[in-house]
């Protein structure tokens, strides 16, 4: 295993009585794009929550198995420590601060970044943390330049409220905000969901570019056609278990994947 590969081994997770993942193992080699496909309720978001230590926010828990990144166990870390370790989640539905400006949303992405405020901020520390995030974001010029290079529109709209952006632009902002933390691994939950085909294609191109710049990607998508084009390998989840796994090019021509996920009869 290289310095920045993700290894999910035998993970079982659920919400109360619901078993959402059963004995799931997934590898993301350093520098790769790996896709996770599956229908509604297959367990895709739960897998990203298990990796990003956010299960508890959703009333869930990891019940078995392990998650490690670059040989370091992640499953004992707090969510904020994970960002410092270089792993950043872009959740489904973008979840930006709609009333804040685009520029301030990007600054928020620097909070908890590697080399920044480590651990959780409490009470009055939060204000200081926010001031610190601004200062850090201003010092984070290479990340800012990278984000503006990938998404010139975010520079043009810097002073606009994030809630006024189009769906495609909001996804760009969500990606840009995540990149401000200078991640080594991005966890993307349905980045093309709800976007028109042109906007989805632009996001796919950008994910390819982000990866080419050296960031690994674990990509959860219902849009199997998009995901299999981007990824080098893929996993298909069905009712919480890995039903199929292999090189993306092989899965793209498998009868089962074509019939069930690519709409080919
Ligand atoms: P979708 O694309 O619909 O989000 P998914 O593949 O991401 O589907 P998950 O959201 O991981 O699937 O859901 C896996 C299972 O866990 C489903 O049975 C779902 O109903 C259940 N589940 C998900 N989130 C919760 C929650 N917060 N509380 C209880 N059960 C949940």
The whole-angstrom separation of Cα 169 and Cα 157 is 10
The whole-angstrom separation of Cα 126 and Cα 122 is 6
Q: Which of 138, 136, 170, 133 is nearest to 154 (CA)?
A: 170
Q: Does ipTM come in above 0.95?
A: yes
Q: How confident is the model at residue 112 (pLDDT cuts 50, 70, 90)?
A: low
93 lines ligand 1 (CB under 6 A): no
Burial class (CB in 10 A: 0-12, 13-18, 19+), 206: middle
46 lines ligand 1 (CB under 6 A): yes
61 lines ligand 1 (CB under 6 A): no
In this predicted structure, what is the pLDDT of residue 131?
Answer: 58
In this predicted structure, what is the pLDDT of residue 143?
Answer: 81
CB atoms within 10 A of CB 156: 12
The whole-angstrom separation of Cα 132 and Cα 116 is 8
Q: How confident is the model at residue 113 (pLDDT cuts 50, 70, 90)?
A: low
Question: What confidence tens digit (pLDDT) does each residue in 88-109 have?
Answer: 999 887 678 888 999 999 988 8
In this predicted structure, what is the pLDDT of residue 3?
Answer: 64
Asked which of 25-29, 59-63, 73-77, 211-215 is least confident by mean pLDDT, the reply is 73-77
Question: What confidence tens digit (pLDDT) does each residue in 139-149 have?
Answer: 567 788 899 99
Question: What confidence tens digit (pLDDT) does each residue in 146-197 have?
Answer: 999 999 999 999 999 999 999 999 999 999 999 999 999 999 999 999 899 9
Q: For a ligand 1 pocket test, name from 35, 44, 236 the mutation site with the most ligand atoms within 8 angstroms of its C-beta.
A: 44
Q: How confident is the model at residue 115 (pLDDT cuts 50, 70, 90)?
A: very low
* Ligand 1, atom 9, residue with closest C-alpha: 43
In this predicted structure, what is the pLDDT of residue 80?
Answer: 76
């Amino acid at each position: 295993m290289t310095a920045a590969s993700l290894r999910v081994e035998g993970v079982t997770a659920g919400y109360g009585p619901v078993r959402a993942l059963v004995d799931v193992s997934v590898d993301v080699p350093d520098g790769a794009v790996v896709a996770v496909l599956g229908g509604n309720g297959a367990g895709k978001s739960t897998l990203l929550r298990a990796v990003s230590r956010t299960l508890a926010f959703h009333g869930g828990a990891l019940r078995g198995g392990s998650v490690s990144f670059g040989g370091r166990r992640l499953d004992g870390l707090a969510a904020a420590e994970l960002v410092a370790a270089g792993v950043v989640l872009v959740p489904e539905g973008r979840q930006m601060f709609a009333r804040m400006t685009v520029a301030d949303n990007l600054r928020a992405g620097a909070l908890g970044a590697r080399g920044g405020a480590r651990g959780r901020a409490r009470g009055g520390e939060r204000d200081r943390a926010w001031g610190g995030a601004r200062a850090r974001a201003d010092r984070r010029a290479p990340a800012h330049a990278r984000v503006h290079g990938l998404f010139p529109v975010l520079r043009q709209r810097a002073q606009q409220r994030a809630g006024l952006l189009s769906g495609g632009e909001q996804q760009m902002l969500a990606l840009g905000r995540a990149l401000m933390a200078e991640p080594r691994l991005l966890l993307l939950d349905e980045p093309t969901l709800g976007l028109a085909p042109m906007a989805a294609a632009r996001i796919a191109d950008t994910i390819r570019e982000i990866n080419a710049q050296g960031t690994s990607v674990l990509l959860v998508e219902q849009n199997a056609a998009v995901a299999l084009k981007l990824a080098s390998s893929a996993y298909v989840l069905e009712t919480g278990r890995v039903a199929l796994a292999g090189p993306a090019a092989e899965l793209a021509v498998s009868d089962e994947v074509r019939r069930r996920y690519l709409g080919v009869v």
